[in-house]
Amino acid sequence: MAPEKVRSRPGEPARPVGEMRPGDHLCLTYVNDEERHAVLTAFLNDGLRAGHALVYLVDGGAAAGHLRAGFGAALDDGRLTVLPTAETDLDTVLESALAHGHPGVRITGEACPSLRGWPGTERFASFEEAVHRAVTRPGSPAMALCQFDRRWFAAEHLREVERHHGGRAGADAVFDDGVLTIVPLFAPPGLRLSGAIDESTLPGLVEALRDAGDGSAHLCLDLSRLDFCDLDGLRTLIRANELSTVLDRQVILRSMPGCMELMMRVCGWDTAPGIVAEATA
């Protein structure tokens, strides 16, 4: 019987990469190198801490030289192995890892359409089906993260990518206490805030703002998923540029809830220097 091809509904929220478990076959459709680095590094480091075997697939003459900087020791001692996509039998890889005592296997690699086919083609479907079968077979200790540079693919291609995976992987939250969740953004650089900003979550917000942006002259704060923000929280957002070492950084407050816009105007903060409050769509 042919394997089921539809595994996720395009547009579903990304799952934090740190929540991946054996049997997961997710895709990372990254917007820039910063996002790819953040998610891939977390995926591999989590594997090293768990004692998993790490397998990085490369297509043709593609090099994985970017791994050397952060994972040189793992490459040298064999915990991380770089293998050619076209010549690798994933079932053999899994059997070898188990024979060497690894409790799990993490497989990743960047898709090269010239070898795997463009999304929507039979060659693409065949490759992803092979990965899916290897990872999701009963008792499999493996998980797979397939990387796609979304700048190379049209919207229909990206929908096809998601359709052949069990979901999308995204960056782990930089703060999450069950009340407020703060997730990094990469294009533009910034943070997405979900939940509530109050006395209990304010220290976490301050810390996240201090570390955000990676030196960028602009910082976007997506507030569309905020349910509550008290006055001290709003004051902290308005003064976010003061927490940065970047001189004259501009802070963009995106999709601010109406109650926050009202508080901002009443307090006279709508004219604060370095702050741009985007109109709610």
74 in the same domain as 34: yes
The answer for 143, left when phi > 0, alpha when psi is -120 to 50, beta otherwise, is: beta
Token output for 108: 């990743």
220 in the same domain as 165: no
Evaluated on CA atoms 61, 29, 71, 47, the torsion sign reads: negative
Domain count within the chain: 2
Tens-digit pLDDT profile for residues 34-52? 999 999 999 999 999 999 9
Domain range enclosing 205: 175-277
Of 138, 170, 202, the last residue of a domain is 170
242 in the same domain as 183: yes
95 in the same domain as 49: yes
Whether 4 maps to a domain, the answer reads: no
Closest CA relative to residue 216, chosen from 181, 194, 248:
248
224 in the same domain as 139: no
Residue pair 40/108 in contact (Cβ under 8 Å)? The answer is: yes
136 in the same domain as 209: no
Of 151, 170, 189, the last residue of a domain is 170
Of 147, 170, 193, the last residue of a domain is 170
256 in the same domain as 211: yes
157 in the same domain as 191: no
- Tens of pLDDT along the chain (281 residues) come to 334 434 555 557 899 999 999 999 999 999 999 999 999 999 999 999 999 999 999 876 555 677 888 999 999 999 999 998 888 889 999 999 888 999 999 999 887 777 778 898 998 999 899 999 999 999 899 999 999 999 999 999 999 999 999 999 999 999 999 999 999 999 999 999 999 999 999 999 999 998 886 778 899 999 999 999 999 999 999 998 887 777 778 999 999 999 999 999 999 999 998 999 986 65
- The per-residue pLDDT for 278 is 85
CATH number where 163 lies: 3.40.50.300
Whether 8 maps to a domain, the answer reads: no
